[in-house]
Chains A and B, each alone.
Chain A
Amino acid sequence: MSDAAEPNRSDRDAPARGADVHHWYDDEAGPVVRPYAMTRGRTSAAGRHRLDLIAVVVPEPAADDPGRDQTLSPEHVEIVERCFEQPQSIAELAAGLDLPVGVVRVLVGDLVDEELVHVTRPVPPAQLPDVSILREVINGLRAL
C-alpha cells in the first residue's frame, strides 16, 4: 500500500474513477459470501448423524407437489431438481453445486426434515459389505 502512505485528501472525496477504485477486499479475504451463509450459519443438521459422502439423495413424490416449500432457498430447490434427474450422492451434489460438503449436508438435512427427500444409508459404519455384493463388484469391474 505504498500509494496510501501519503493519502491525498482531495482524492478521497473525488468520485471513483475506473482503475483508481480500491476494493476493500482481495483474494486473500476468501469468498465474499461465506459458504455457511447459505445455511444461516448452521454447520450441522440438528439431531442427525453426519451424512456419508456416498449417501444417495432420493426425492420423495411429495417434492413434486406444487404449492409446497415456499421457504426453500434456490440451493434447496436445485438439489431436489438434480436428484429428480438422477439420485445423487452427497459428494456429487457438492461437486455439482460447487459447495463445500458440509454445506450440502445441512441443506440436505433440511430437505429430509421437510420430507422432500430421503437419503440411502450406505454400508453401516465399521462393517464390511456383504460377501455377495463384493462378488458382484468384482464381476462388474471385470465386465467394464
Chain B
Amino acid sequence: MAFGRSSRKKPPVEPVTLKILVAGGFGVGKTTLVGAVSEIRPLRTEEVLTEAGRPVDDLHGVEAKTTTTVAMDFGRITLREDLVLYLFGTPGQDRFWFLWDELAQGALGAVVLADTRRLEDSFAAIDYFERRGIPFTVAVNCFEGARSYPTETVRAALDLDPEVELVLCDARDRESVKSVLVAVVEHALVLADRSHEPVAT
C-alpha cells in the first residue's frame, strides 16, 4: 500500500498554466508585487548551481565557491479551476541571466518594475525582453518619499518604444497590481492579434 489511498473516483483537473515574469533591480519590490495578488504567500524555489552545471555559470570573483544558490520567488493566481497564472520574480543578479531564458520560455509576458531613483537598474530587463520579443509593461513603483516624475520623462529616460505601456503602480496594492497585469496581457493580446493577421499588401 504505497500511497495509502483508497480508490478515487474523480480524475484530477489538469489546469492550463501560464506565467508572467516580474523583473527589475534588486529591492525594487518584485516579491511585494507578487505577494499583493498571489493567493499563496510567495514561495521560493532554489536552483543549486554547481561546477558540473552549465558552462555559462560564471563564477568569476567567487572562485572559492563551488555551489551557488539562486532563489526565485513566485506566486499563484487561480483564475478558474482549469486556468492558473503564476508570477515569477526573476533573480536580480546579472550573473543568473541564463536562468531567465528558462523562465522566459513560454511566458505570456513580463512586468518590468522600476524605481525612478534607480532607473538604470531596469535597463537590463527592458533590453532583455525587447530582444526576445516578449510582451512587457513597465510599472513604476511609486515609493513613498521618492520624487514623482511625469510618465513622459520616465519614458524618455528609459527610451521605451511607443507601443510599450508605462504605468504607475503601488506594488503593495492588490488593485494596482491587478491593473498592471491586465496591461501586460492586453499588450500580449495586441501582439498576438497582429501576428495572426495576414500582412497587408
Contact = CB atoms under 8 A, between A and B. Distances in A.
Interface of A: 30, 35-36, 43, 50, 52-56, 58-59, 61, 63-70, 72, 77, 80-81, 83-84, 86-87, 89, 91-92, 94-96, 100-103, 120, 122-129, 131, 133-138, 140-142, 144
A134 B185 contact: yes
A65 to B, nearest CB: 8
Interface residues of B, number: 57
B105 A91 contact: no
A138 B8 contact: no
A58 B77 contact: no
Nearest to A102: B47
A66 B14 CA distance: 24
A55 B5 CA distance: 24
B160 interface: no
Interface of B: 1-3, 5-8, 11-19, 37, 43-48, 52-53, 67, 69, 72, 74, 76-77, 79-80, 83-86, 88, 102-103, 105-106, 108, 135, 174, 178, 181-182, 185-186, 188-189, 191-193, 195-196
A140 B76 contact: no
Contacts of B189: 131, 134-135, 138
Nearest to A96: B43
B2 A68 contact: yes
Contacts of B37: 144
A80 B3 contact: yes
A54 to B, nearest CB: 4
Contacts of A56: 14-15, 17
Contacts of B106: 52, 54, 122-127
Contacts of A123: 18, 106, 108
A84 B13 CA distance: 11
B178 A134 contact: no
Given A68-B2, A131-B189, A120 B45 contact: no
A131 B79 contact: no
Given A43-B52, A52-B106, A128-B195, A144 B77 contact: yes
Contact of B47 (A77, A101, A136): A101
27 contacts: A35-B48, A53-B45, A55-B17, A56-B14, A56-B15, A61-B8, A66-B1, A70-B2, A89-B17, A92-B43, A94-B45, A100-B45, A100-B69, A101-B45, A102-B48, A125-B106, A126-B106, A128-B135, A128-B188, A129-B18, A129-B108, A133-B83, A134-B108, A134-B185, A141-B77, A142-B182, A144-B37
